[in-house]
């Protein structure tokens, strides 16, 4: 590889770094995407121009097939299904790492890493780590996809001695990795990969659905490290750099989210996240009084308020109600009412889910606040308008040590003078527990589709 190729790869790497910097803020996100696309165009073009590339027909056939499938999925996918789509894509990166490592082991001459039976120790270590991380990423991402898609229950699935069993498998994988690097045994490699697929499955099943955004972020990190491993096997410096960027940024994001939820990053990595005791029965709440109102009732309360904080959640995403919410905010602002938006770090099903939806509806960036920025304002707010943000507003996180979400910081919407909660029914949230907020004296429930309810509310405000 000549200095020209290295220079082009360096330029591409710099553009990827600028893309990450741009994506750190809504104002610069569009520019960040442009940098990322430019970097990828340079990377692909440079790679195709390498002198070692000779089978262009097969490459372009693969690009065409992948492009058609990817474009088809992108056109049909709903925003509410984006988290499981991301998890599914992570699984593909993981499987690619496993297949490339296996291909390099069976045909090392094609990769320029020696001959069969005499592959250098460093190369064996690279491909074994890539295969292990890739296999864990694949099976873990498949389970995350199944939970997010509703194919599997979102509740934690546990069995007696689970952690000891996982530790035993992890120790076996480490032992086999050492044996493989010393012997170059194909049998050991296959067994090591199979156990890695198994541990990926076991790491994710005990994690509850309410904290799945953190899992998606961590799997994103795993996929980056797997890609970096592929880069070493292929001898491609750009892939090494790109994988390291994805891996490190995903790990940092996961750490930030864990800190925001008062959880340990170590528990996420080792599959113990959400390992709280089972929630205890709190009595039959079905006979407790619930204040159910209409859109007209809500409009009256909001019209007489001086400040409103809107709290979007997964219910808004499902109903695609962000445009109706934006219209409601505009009507309130015309009357001189202060309107702000409060976002919990894990609202929705993936990091930034609510921010993307609000940006799509052209909500001003300076009106959107994170939990730590706005939580103290609920106590002086007249109305908190909550749209399906169930678990992230549940007081059980503060006052019930037996709750699966105990210890997680929540948006203190209950401190507002009035809480208007938009929900289809009284069903429990994704964590599988009931929200005590529904039964508070200052809460009024608006039952129905979030978009329809909010549109009715807007009509009542205009009337």
As annotated, the active-site residues are 391
| DSSP assignment of 114-172 | --TT---HHHHHHHHHHHHHHHHHHHHHHHHHHHHHTSS-SS----TTHHHHHHHHHHH
User: Could you tell me the CA-to-CA distances from 309 to 219, 422, 436, 447 in Å, in that order?
Assistant: 33, 14, 20, 19
First and final C-alpha spacing in the chain? 70
User: Could you tell me the CA-to-CA distances from 3 to 12, 132, 194, 240 in Å, in that order?
Assistant: 14, 33, 40, 17
Residues 6+ apart with CB under 8 A from 11: 39, 42
User: What is the gyration radius of the CA atoms in the chain, in angstroms?
Assistant: 25
Residue 307 DSSP SS3: strand
Q: Cα–Cα distance between 425 and 381 in angstroms, integer?
A: 26
Residues 6+ apart with CB under 8 A from 102: 131, 189, 193
Residues 6+ apart with CB under 8 A from 151: 145
């Amino acid at each position: 590889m000549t200095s020209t190729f290295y220079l082009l790869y360096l330029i591409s790497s710099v553009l990827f770094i600028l893309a990450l910097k741009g994506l750190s803020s809504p104002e610069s996100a569009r520019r960040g995407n442009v940098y990322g696309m430019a970097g990828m165009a340079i990377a692909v073009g440079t790679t195709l121009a390498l002198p070692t590339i000779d089978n262009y027909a097969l490459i372009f056939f693969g690009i065409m097939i992948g492009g058609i499938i990817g474009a088809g999925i992108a056109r049909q996918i709903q925003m509410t299904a984006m988290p499981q789509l991301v998890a599914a894509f992570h699984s593909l990166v993981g499987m690619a790492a496993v297949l490339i490592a296996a291909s390099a082991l069976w045909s090392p001459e094609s990769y320029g890493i020696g001959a069969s039976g005499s592959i250098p120790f460093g190369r064996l270590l690279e491909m074994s780590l890539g295969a292990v991380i890739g296999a864990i990423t694949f099976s873990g991402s498949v389970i995350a996809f199944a939970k997010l898609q509703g194919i599997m229950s979102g509740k934690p699935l546990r069995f007696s001695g689970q952690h000891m069993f996982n530790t035993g498998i992890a120790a076996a994988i480490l032992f086999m990795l050492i044996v493989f690097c010393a012997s170059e045994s194909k049998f050991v490699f296959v067994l090591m990969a199979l156990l890695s697929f198994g541990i990926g499955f076991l790491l994710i099943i005990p994690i509850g659905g309410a904290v799945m955004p953190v899992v998606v972020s961590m799997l994103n990190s795993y996929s980056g490290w797997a890609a970096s491993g592929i880069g070493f096997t292929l001898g491609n410096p750009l892939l090494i750099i790109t994988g390291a960027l994805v891996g490190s940024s995903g790990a940092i994001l996961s750490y930030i989210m864990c800190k925001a939820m008062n959880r340990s990053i170590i528990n996420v990595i080792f599959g113990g996240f959400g390992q709280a005791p089972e929630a205890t029965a709190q009595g039959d709440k079905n006979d407790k009084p619930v204040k159910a109102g209409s859109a007209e009732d809500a409009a009256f309360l909001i019209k007489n308020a001086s400040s409103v904080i809107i709290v979007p959640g997964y219910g808004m995403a499902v109903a695609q109600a962000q445009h109706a919410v934006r219209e409601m905010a505009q009507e309130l602002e015309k009357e001189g009412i202060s309107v702000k938006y409060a976002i919990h770090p894990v609202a929705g099903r993936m990091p930034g889910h609510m921010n993307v939806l609000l940006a799509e509806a052209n909500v001003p960036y300076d009106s959107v606040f994170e939990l730590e920025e706005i939580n103290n304002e609920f106590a002086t707010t007249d109305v908190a308008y909550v749209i399906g943000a169930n678990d992230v507003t549940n007081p059980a996180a503060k006052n019930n040590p037996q709750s699966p979400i105990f210890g997680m910081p929540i948006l203190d919407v209950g401190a507002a003078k009035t809480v208007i909660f938009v929900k289809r029914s009284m069903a429990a949230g994704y964590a599988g527990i009931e929200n005590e907020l529904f039964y508070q004296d200052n809460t009024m429930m608006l039952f129905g589709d979030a978009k329809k309810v909010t549109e009715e509310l807007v009509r009542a405000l205009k009337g």
